[in-house]
Amino acid sequence: MANNYDDQLAALAKKVESKVQGSNISPYSLHKEQTKSVQVRLSQWKKLKMMSVEKEIKLVDLVGQMIDFAMQSEKFK
């Protein structure tokens, strides 16, 4: 009986290992949108970080919203 249990456990471990190795994507991510790095002055980054914490959203989402808003303004059309 113990041998059968060991075989089942080994088979399960093999399945899990193949799933883990086959994907470098976080299972918690909602989508796979790529990002690029940008340089921001430290003083601005601190303000952005504080705003993202206060609004409880990711920094990348906050910056994206700000860029989208700015691109819609008359100044950049």
pLDDT at 25: 61
Q: How far apart are CA 59 and CA 53, in angstroms?
A: 8
pLDDT in tens, 13-59: 777 776 555 556 666 666 667 888 999 999 999 999 999 999 999 99
Task: Please give the pLDDT value at position 13.
Answer: 77
Residue/partner pairs of 72-75 with CB below 8 Å, 24 or more apart: none
Q: How confident is the model at residue 8 (pLDDT cuts 50, 70, 90)?
A: confident
**CB 48 within 8 Å of CB 62:** yes
SS3 for 34-72 is CCCCCCCCHHHHHHHHHHHHHHCCCHHHHHHHHHHHHHH
Rounded Cα gap, residues 36 and 21, in angstroms: 25
> Would the pLDDT of 1 be above 70?
no
